[in-house]
Amino acid sequence: MDELLSPILSKYNYWVYITLMMIGLYAMIAKSNLVKKIIGMNILQTAVILFYVSIGAKQGATIPIIRHGHEGAAAHAVRAADYINPLPHVLMLTAIVVSVATLGVALALAIRIYRQYGTLEEDDIATRITGDIRKSP
């Protein structure tokens, strides 16, 4: 049991992000409601963001702020192991902005689709489209 669990537990952050990513992809592929697809897309993006955030973390480390920074440089040699890596977190600020913007564009398009067809179910939209084609000469 221990051999089975330890690789899972020691790398649990990867398992979490892979699981979330698969949930997101499943929603985007299998759901026929456009809003559910958009939610799936957001879960997918969040999974990647979580992956980045988790790789910056270190055991027993703290936030990367040097507390006595003005008391002379030699007084405190910085040990990198004491601080988490801030760079992936900073990158993810940008990625979060990107994902919010994507969500915005997706919802705007969904609103246009709803106004046009009166529904957000893909199957209903498909029947509307084929119906329109039959009606037009």
Partner 1 sequence: MTRQLPALIIIAPLIGTFCISIAGWINKRYCLPILIAALGISLYASIGLLGLVIQEHGVVYRLGGWDPPWGILYQVDYLNGLVLIVIAVVALINAVACRKHVLEEYPDRVGPFFTLYSLFVTGLFGIVVTADAFNLYVLLEIASLSGYAMIGMGNGRAPLAGLNYLFMGTIGASFYLLGVGYLYLVTGSLNMADIALILPDIYESRVAMTAFVICMAGLFLKMALFPLHSWMPNAYTHGSFAALGVIAPLTTKVMIYVMIRISLTVFTPSFVFDRFRIDEAIVWLAIIAIVAGSLLALSQSRLKKMLAYVIVAEIGYMVGGFWLGNRQGITGAVLHIVNDAMMTLCVFLAAGAIAYRQKGDDFEKMEGLFITMPFTMSGFVVAALSVIGVPPTCGFFSKWYLISGGIAAGQYAFVGALLLSSLVHVVLFFRIFEIAYYRPEAGHHGGGHSSSVINEAPLDMVIPLLVGAGLLVVLGLNTGFLVDRVIRFAVPAQLI
Per CB under 8 A, does 64 bind partner 1? Answer: no
Per CB under 8 A, does 59 bind partner 1? Answer: no
Per CB under 8 A, does 79 bind partner 1? Answer: no
- Helical spans, DSSP H, in the chain: 2-10, 12-30, 34-55, 86-117, 122-135
The span of 3-11, 57-65, 66-74, 112-120 binding partner 1 (CB under 8 A) equals: 112-120
Q: What are phi and psi of 112, to 5 degrees?
A: -60, -40
- Interface pick for partner 1 out of 48, 61, 83, 121 (rule CB under 8 A): 48
- Interface pick for partner 1 out of 23, 31, 106, 124 (rule CB under 8 A): 106
Closest contact distance (angstroms) between CB of 105 and partner 1 is: 6
Residue by residue, DSSP assigns 10-23 as: HTHHHHHHHHHHHH
User: What dihedral angle (degrees, nearest 10) is formed by the CA atoms of 90, 92, 98, 99?
Assistant: -150
Tell me the sheet residues that pair with 83.
62
Binding mask 1-20 for partner 1 (x = CB under 8 A): --------------------
Closest listed residue to residue 34, CA positions, set 115, 97, 101: 115
Q: State in Å, rounded, how far the first CA of the chain is from the last one.
A: 68
Binding site for partner 1 (CB under 8 A): 25, 28, 34, 37, 41, 44-45, 48, 51-52, 55, 88, 91, 94-95, 98, 101-102, 105-106, 108-110, 112-113, 116, 125, 129
